[in-house]
């Protein structure tokens, strides 16, 4: 390793004195002006990870649903999944090392991971539309170059697109072509095949119009590029396309979910189907207004339910013993859990908050559906399940079974199995609604959410507990508290007084706050 080159490169991307950041679920996030050194160092770390795995690694510059002034970065592992937890620790160590410690920290990582420094390294880079992303992305490439790695810069892409590229490249393009056009072609082909079976009369022409709030982010650019690949049946109308307003400002999936109201800049008429992406297009929520002008949100729980019903019906038709399971977090509405278990008869598993926990659990099943309530999620098919489905689609003699298998095969190709993807999830939802002839109100009416509240208690409150959020210990997928003593008993006593009630508190994984969730039979 050329430490003189590292020293010189690092001097051009100096670390502000005393700044310490943690690599969390979403990678690093901060004000953009604090991140130049982080980007340089993550470019270098990606080279080490590439050499350690003999694979291409991704580096995405984005802060997702955060305000425009923020930015962030996350690394993408060989199969398009999130960075290995051990390497998250290395990322934090490298990010916070003072200039004179850089050499030592890098050397330690190489020794622990037996990194072959003579091996070629390839890093895929991408960025969102923030004003700061271009320069920060350049800092990543500087970090890649300083350790002798090669980079392939995809420029402006959604986060899920970069995950997809990394997976395509490392599977020798078995997963698809590692280009943006390849992504559009794969998804649109599967979508067109899937909706062939939709009887045009069943859902009526008006049902195919969809209004999309793009959060003034990258989703708008990519949907404009992709529009020519869509069939005529789907008519999308883009709002908050980034031409005049700020990213995520009073719009986007997070805003709509948290405030339970439509985004600014989108004019809703009664019973029109609308959806919102977040800033980097890895989350989606749907919503509509009823005839009485009441707003209805359709969140990740209802998306997971719709997809699970559809997959279960197809699997029953192909008479395969493949098992579907749904993975949720403690934030999932109790009504959704009950409906999935008792009516759809699909097992539901609860895991700790954070996409990596959901993804990991979903990998245990033939077909694993996971969504966070915030609209981030996807479907995973095991290798064995995928092989079986493709074989039935090709060889099954019985017409009905073969058609069902073909539809399952199209679902395999339409979902982005690497990560939650707003574009892919939107196409999955649109296809299912068309095939089942469902209106947005009928979908919403599958079950009724229990009234609930989600609050966050900031660390500035004059409470001894919240002065340090780590005082709160949790167990049972964060649904119960182990510390401080007496807290769980107090919660239990309150919950006992109400019907269909539950509540939990947990330290936030992304900010200095404690989150409090409660639901019951009445608001």
The residues annotated as belonging to the active site are 64
Q: Please give the Cα distance from 388 to 396 (Å, whole number).
A: 11
DSSP string, 442-488: HHHTTS-PPPEEEEEEETTSS-HHHHSGGG-EEETTTTEEEESTTHH
Q: Please give the Cα distance from 36 to 140 (Å, whole number).
A: 9
Q: 64: annotated binding-site residue? A: yes
Strand 150-156 to 209-213 pairing? unpaired
Residue 452 burial class via C-beta count within 10 angstroms: exposed 0-12, middle 13-18, buried 19 and up: middle
Q: Please give the Cα distance from 523 to 521 (Å, whole number).
A: 7
Where b means 16+ CB within 10 Å and e means fewer, 105-115 reads: bbeebbeebeb
Q: 4: annotated binding-site residue? A: no
Q: Of 370, 376, 379, 375, nearest to 351 (Cα)?
A: 370
Q: Please give the Cα distance from 408 to 388 (Å, whole number).
A: 10
| Length of the chain as a residue count | 523
* Residue in the block written with tokens 């901060």: 30
Q: Of 333, 262, 274, nearest to 304 (Cα)?
A: 333
Where b means 16+ CB within 10 Å and e means fewer, 35-63 reads: bbbbbbbbbbbbbbbbbbbebbbbbbbbb
Residue 67: helix, strand or coil by DSSP?
coil
Q: 280: annotated binding-site residue? A: yes
Strand 324-329 to 274-277 pairing? unpaired
Q: Please give the Cα distance from 514 to 480 (Å, whole number).
A: 14
Q: Tokens representing 100?
A: 């004179």
Q: Of 25, 22, 83, nearest to 52 (Cα)?
A: 83
Q: Please give the Cα distance from 496 to 374 (Å, whole number).
A: 28
Q: 282: annotated binding-site residue? A: yes
* Cβ atoms 366, 384 nearer than 8 A: yes
Q: 515: annotated binding-site residue? A: yes
Q: 468: annotated binding-site residue? A: no
Q: 374: annotated binding-site residue? A: yes
Binding residues: 64, 278, 280, 282, 372-374, 506-510, 515
Binding residues for Mg(2+): 64, 278, 280, 282
Binding residues for substrate: 372-374, 506-510, 515
């Amino acid at each position: 390793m050329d430490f003189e080159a590292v020293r010189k490169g690092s001097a051009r991307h100096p670390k502000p004195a005393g700044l310490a950041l943690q690599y969390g679920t979403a990678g690093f996030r901060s004000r953009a002006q604090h991140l130049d050194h982080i980007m340089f160092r993550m470019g270098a770390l990606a080279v080490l990870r590439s050499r350690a795995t003999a694979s291409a690694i991704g580096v995405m510059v984005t802060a997702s649903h955060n305000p425009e002034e923020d930015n962030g970065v996350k690394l993408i592992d060989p199969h398009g999944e999130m960075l290995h937890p051990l390497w998250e620790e290395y990322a934090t160590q490298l990010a916070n090392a003072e200039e004179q410690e850089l050499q030592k920290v890098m050397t330690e990582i190489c020794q622990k991971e037996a990194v072959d420094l003579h091996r070629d390294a390839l890093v895929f880079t991408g960025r969102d539309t923030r004003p700061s992303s271009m320069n920060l992305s350049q800092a990543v490439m500087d970090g890649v170059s300083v350790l002798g790695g090669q980079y392939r810069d995809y420029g402006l892409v959604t986060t899920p697109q970069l995950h997809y590229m990394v997976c395509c490249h490392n599977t020798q393009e078995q997963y698809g072509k590692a280009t943006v056009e390849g992504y559009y072609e794969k998804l649109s082909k599967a979508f067109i095949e899937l909706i062939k079976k939709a009887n045009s009369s069943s859902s009526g022409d008006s049902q195919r119009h969809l209004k999309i709030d793009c959060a003034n982010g990258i989703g708008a650019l990519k949907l404009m590029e992709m529009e020519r690949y869509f069939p005529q049946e789907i008519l999308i109308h883009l709002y908050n396309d980034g031409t005049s307003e700020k990213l995520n400002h009073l719009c986007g999936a997070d805003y709509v979910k948290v405030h339970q109201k439509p985004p600014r800049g989108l004019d809703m008429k009664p019973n029109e189907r609308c959806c919102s992406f977040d800033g980097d297009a890895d989350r989606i929520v749907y919503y509509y207004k009823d005839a009485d002008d009441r707003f209805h949100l359709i969140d990740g729980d209802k998306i997971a339910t719709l997809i699970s019903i559809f997959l279960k019906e197809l699997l029953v038709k192909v008479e395969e013993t493949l098992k579907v399971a749904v993975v949720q977090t403690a934030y999932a509405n109790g009504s959704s859990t009950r409906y999935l278990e008792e009516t759809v008869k699909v097992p539901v598993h609860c895991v700790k908050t954070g996409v990596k926990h959901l993804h990991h659990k979903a990998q245990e099943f033939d077909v694993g559906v996971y969504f966070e309530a915030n609209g981030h999620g996807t479907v995973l098919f095991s290798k064995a399940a995928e092989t079986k489905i493709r074989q039935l689609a090709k060889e099954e003699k019985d017409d009905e079974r073969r058609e069902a298998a073909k539809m399952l095969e199209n679902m395999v190709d339409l979902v982005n199995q690497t990560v939650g993807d707003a574009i892919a999830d939107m196409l999955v939802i649109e296809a299912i609604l068309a095939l089942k002839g469902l209106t947005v109100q009928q979908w919403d009416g599958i079950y009724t959410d229990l009234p609930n509240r989600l609050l966050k208690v900031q660390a500035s409150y004059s409470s001894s507990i919240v002065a340090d959020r780590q005082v709160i210990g949790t167990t049972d997928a964060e649904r119960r508290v182990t510390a401080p003593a007496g807290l769980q008993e107090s919660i239990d006593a309150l919950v006992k007084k109400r019907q269909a009630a539950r509540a939990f508190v947990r330290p936030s994984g992304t900010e200095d706050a404690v989150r409090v969730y409660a639901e019951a039979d009445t608001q």
